[in-house]
Amino acid sequence: MICPWCGTLNRGSARFCISCGKRLGDQAYDRPRFLFNARKGNNSPWRYILTIILTLGGSSILVGIILGIFLGIFLFLSDMTLDVYSILFNPFWLLVIAGMVFCVAYIFLYLSVRFLHNRSFKSLINTGREIDWRRMVRGAIVWFLIMSVLDIIYFMLSPESFKFSFEPRSFLLLSVIALIVFPIQASFEEVFFRGYLLQALGLLSKSPFLALVANSLIFAGLHWWNGSTPTMSLSIVISAFIIGLMLGLITLADDGIELAVGIHIINNLYVGVIHNSPDSGLGNLPSLVVTPPNPYLSPIILLVAVLFVIFILFRDRREDVIKVFK
């Protein structure tokens, strides 16, 4: 039996850890068991470094090579010219390419977890229960309702900020692509950041809260390039940090990423398809509603939404939230 407090291997019949002396058994461990999943596999530092390089870097390089080969063959056989600029700045093509990158990243992450870490891929999802699709749906519904209510209030207070547009052909194409790409992208980010990386940080820190904060800082920092100005980039980073804290807290409190996956998927669908901002990193998408960017108000509105979703999801499970801060 492995001690959940210090990671020391004990005899199966042991009642107390031979290293730290604490009581063994599920009932003795009052912190998020989700972080304990990482101790089931091989955790040499080089395994994490290689997995991160393959997953985040190798996927983009491989997709770029494959696309380059196919485009080269196509141009050679068709004797046509290609406007690379129009592809790189076409939001639909960008979504398709992003979907391809995340699919390959999923494959690299799966292979790394299974054969480098010798762990079950499911250990990145929860602590042993069957994957709960109802949790995903519940998280998605709650977040969608909160976002919708806040948007309605925002519209009532400032209707001039809203620009409505509906071009059936573009919107249908966006909806189809988004319904395929965003679930892949959002679920991968949850498996990687709130699953793989958060569990890895849990090995380095005995405090779940410190692991959560570090994980959220990394997640937020990678969003810096989503803004077109330093002010907007900072606002997006702050918002991403708030989102990361929320999704990580939900993951640790629920001992699984299902709720977080549902929230993340519906959030990206909502921002991409329903209500977008021209300076959000997805500003060229033909969404139903467009509002001007507000780098000062957006994080505040998001914080309110986060507080509401935590209250709704865990109003009868306060102990599960408290254990994250131990």
Q: Which residue has the higher pLDDT, 310 or 91?
A: 310
* Residue 24 tokens, joined: 């063994």
Owner of token pair 């004797």: 79
Mean pLDDT of 195-201: 96
Mean pLDDT of the chain, nearest integer: 87
Domain residue limits, the chain: 1-30, 31-325
More confident residue, 286 or 120: 120
Mind listing the pLDDT tens digit for each residue in 17-71? Answer: 777 676 666 444 557 889 988 888 888 999 999 999 999 999 999 998 998 888 7
Q: Show the tokens assigned to 117.
A: 């870490």
Predicted pLDDT of residue 27: 46
Q: Which residues contact 129 (CB under 8 A, 6 or more apart)?
A: 256
Output the pLDDT for position 189: 96
Give the neighbor-by-neighbor strand order of the sheet with 163-164. 163-164, 289-290, 275-276
Residue 195 confidence (pLDDT) above 90: yes
Contacts of residue 296, defined as CB under 8 A and 6 or more positions apart, other chains included, come to: 235
Reported as a pLDDT band with limits 50, 70 and 90, residue 217 is: very high
Three-state SS at 304: helix
What is the model's pLDDT at position 176?
94
Per-residue pLDDT tens over the stretch 77-120: 776 666 666 666 778 888 999 999 999 999 999 999 999 999 99
What pLDDT is stored for residue 297 in this prediction? 84
Section 288-316 average pLDDT: 89
Average pLDDT over every residue of 213-242: 88
pLDDT tens digits for range 113-134: 999 999 999 999 998 889 999 9
Q: What is the pLDDT of residue 6?
A: 58
pTM (predicted TM-score): 0.87
Q: What is the pLDDT of residue 17?
A: 74
Over residues 255-281, the mean pLDDT reads 88
201, pLDDT greater than 60: yes
- With cut-offs at 50, 70 and 90, classify the pLDDT of residue 277: confident
Find out whether 22 and 315 touch, Cβ atoms under 8 Å.
Answer: no
